[in-house]
Structure 1
Amino acid sequence: MTRAGRVISLESIIVDLRVDVPELPRIGGDVIASGSRVQVGGGFNVVAAAARQGVPTVYAGRIGSGPYGRLVAEALTGEGVTVGGPTDPDEDSGYCVAFHVPGSDPTYVTVPGAEGRLRPEDLAGLGPGAGDVLCVSGYDLMYEVSGPTITGWLGDHGAGPRVVLDPGPLVLDIPTPAMGAAVGVLDVLTLSAREALLVAGAEPSGGELHHSVRRRLGLRDATVLVIRAGDEGCTATGGELRGLVPVPADVVDAVDVTGAGDTHTGVLAARLAEGSDFGRALTAANEAAALSVTVRGPATAPARSDMRNAAID
């Protein structure tokens, strides 16, 4: 089978500042960190995961011109990702401070930069094809400038390529008009189990959780809803799928779950771009996400050659 298209990501790329702490301080308090790390993250995890599958990958967002922006540009070059967006001459790329407490999920504070100022003219020459897969983040739908740019652009181009949205942990904070515009052209919505429960507003499980999320967000029948559940794999409904489809995950010894959802999204997008059906694409995404959590760091998606599900369908 020949590859059908590219992965084109509009998910903004920022720099992750990881801080390891014994506990989060109380308001007005302080704690002594045991370590820290600076790495490129955000949407970089998605494009890195896709590119490591050997699928042509394009980053279409803005990059800053300061030290963080240079880190972003160097990281994209290192992964062989094509830079399709402009460099902002006046502003640096944003960053995210991630506080890691042993035994708990990370806590984040995001500071937007140049990536939050995507304008229509920035996307004018992108020209997505019918075989391409577009990746969009919920963070970008929240930005005052990038949000309307992306939803307007999707309205013009979303009927051709597949559109994949990962709303992220701020799913309930996305403005209703922006979410509604995205839902109208959405082919895949991928959520963590926690995010799905936030949307559902209750604690249903399995098919009931899917039904509640689909109803509350007004998803079309043609939209595939993926709910990621960590070591339990993921479940999916809608589109070409018949009923609730569970896709199990490998059992691994996890050391760092940072970026696992992004790995899942990037590999899913890559496999869809080259023509895999959803079942095979989700199986590969689960395997990649499981491998990624066995390595410390945010952008730890495996190379395709390191996966069992490496063959082109």
Structure 2
Amino acid sequence: MLSRIGERVAEFTHANQSTQDSPDSHAVISLGHVWVDIMMDVNTIPQAGGFAVSDHTNATVGGSYRVLQAAARMGAPAKHAGIIGTGPWATIVRDALAANGIEHIGQDRLDTDSGFRLVLTDEDRRKTYIATYGAEAQGDDTTFNCVEPATGDVVHISGNTLMDHTAAGVDEFMHHASNDPFGRDFTIVLNPTNTLSLVNDHLLEDLVLARPIWSCNRQEANTLADRLGILRNDEASLTVGGGFDRSMAELCRALGETLRAPLVVRAGSRGAWVRTPGGEVVHVEGYPTKATHTRSAGAPHTGTLCAMLARGWSLIDAVQIANAAASLAIQRSIGGVPSCPSYTDAIALVDASENSR
């Protein structure tokens, strides 16, 4: 689809082989939470007072860590601006960040540990979450005063940071960011969660007015559209033959027009629909793969998107590379968690696909 990809691979490979070691590299800075996920496979979720045995348990670092891990693997310096506590869970978080070359620039809490979540997956692959919030959720309006993006940096904001006291820090950061995206010398990428329906009106208004790049899956996009009172034409989704694609395009168009900001709506192997203000909706093809994971590949997609924007790619090109990275991440999942590939591998998949058409 995009001839620019093949034409620019050699240029970027040569110029950015040592991107992480270059002081001029643009960074990806996340304002999201990082916690530990304890993933447990069970036959069924027990009722109150019941009992269940897990035949597979896996502890992994979750939240915005996986976005930053993807960004680092794509060659962008990655920085975590959230709060990390002190204790066994925080130690796991710090070790994971260090192992992936992710710099922690945020606050440290000495009086409490970082949080964790139990993720129970039953035989029908339905997931149940039980969260214990820790230091990451105990911020205030000063939490992100440490964030001073340089020209060309990409600031990632996750919906998981909008639900607790740390949201005040996000709001304060947005107040200092120009409402004119062309007046900022850095880029904001906002990755909401489906709990966006619970974000308070004032904060949501500030986020919309800042006009970041919104990156959502279909469910998150519909939640945001409902929250903003956007009417969509759902007739396309009821038709046979191409109805899903038309429905996605309509959702992206309607939501994009209201946000007046760049919008990416992901749909797994079907790729993503992209709209920029005043432009038409563009469908960026995905890379079908067999689903072998139990977690979403949204984080590898978002992290790759942020890294590619930091490396100077256009939004459409960045989305295409992110689609490829998400597909490979699913193929290479570890313990049910998609594992983002390297920049070289993602580009190779895009190139191979282009050459086969």
TM superposition score normalised by structure 1: 0.90
SS in 1 for 2:214: strand
Q: Which residue of 1 aligns with 2:92?
A: 71
Q: Which residue of 2 aligns with 1:151?
A: 171
1:200 and 1:119, CA in 2 relative to 1: closer, same or farther beyond 3 A? closer
Bigger Rg over Cα:
2
SS in 1 for 2:89: helix
Q: Answer yes or no: is 1:51 the counterpart of 2:51.
A: no
Structural mapping, 1:43-192, within 5 Å:
43-143=64-164, 145-157=165-177, 159-192=184-217
- Between stretches 302-311 and 111-120, larger displacement belongs to 302-311
Q: 1:196 aligns with which of 211, 214, 221?
A: 221
Distance in 2 of aligned mates of 1:182 and 1:107: 29
| Native 8 Å contact 2:116 2:131 kept in 1 | yes
Distance in 2 of aligned mates of 1:284 and 1:69: 32
Give unmatched runs, 5+ long, in structure 2: 1-11, 16-23, 179-183, 227-231, 238-246, 351-357
Q: What's the offset of the Cα at 1:310?
A: 8.4
Q: What's the offset of the Cα at 1:303?
A: 1.7
Q: Answer yes or no: is 1:228 the counterpart of 2:253.
A: no
- Which amino acid in 2 is paired with 1:254? A
RMSD: 2.2
Q: Name which structure has the greater RCO, CA cutoff 8 Å, separation 6+.
A: 1
Q: Answer yes or no: is 1:274 the counterpart of 2:311.
A: yes
Q: What's the offset of the Cα at 1:104?
A: 3.0
- Which amino acid in 2 is paired with 1:226? V
- Between stretches 19-28 and 184-193, larger displacement belongs to 19-28
- Between stretches 117-126 and 155-164, larger displacement belongs to 117-126
| Native 8 Å contact 2:72 2:100 kept in 1 | yes
Question: Alpha-carbon deviations, 1:17-60, whole Å to 9, x = none?
Answer: 10111233344433322211111111110000000011111111
Length, aligned pairs only: 305
Q: What's the offset of the Cα at 1:83?
A: 0.9
Question: Alpha-carbon deviations, 1:243-286, whole Å to 9, x = none?
Answer: 11111111212210514101110000000011100111001110
Distance in 2 of aligned mates of 1:187 and 1:251: 29
Structural mapping, 1:206-225, within 5 Å:
206-214=248-256, 218-220=258-260, 223-225=261-263
SS in 1 for 2:205: helix
Q: Which residue of 1 aligns with 2:57?
A: 36
TM superposition score normalised by structure 2: 0.79
By percentage of residues, which structure has more helix?
A: 2
Q: Which residue of 1 aligns with 2:44?
A: 23
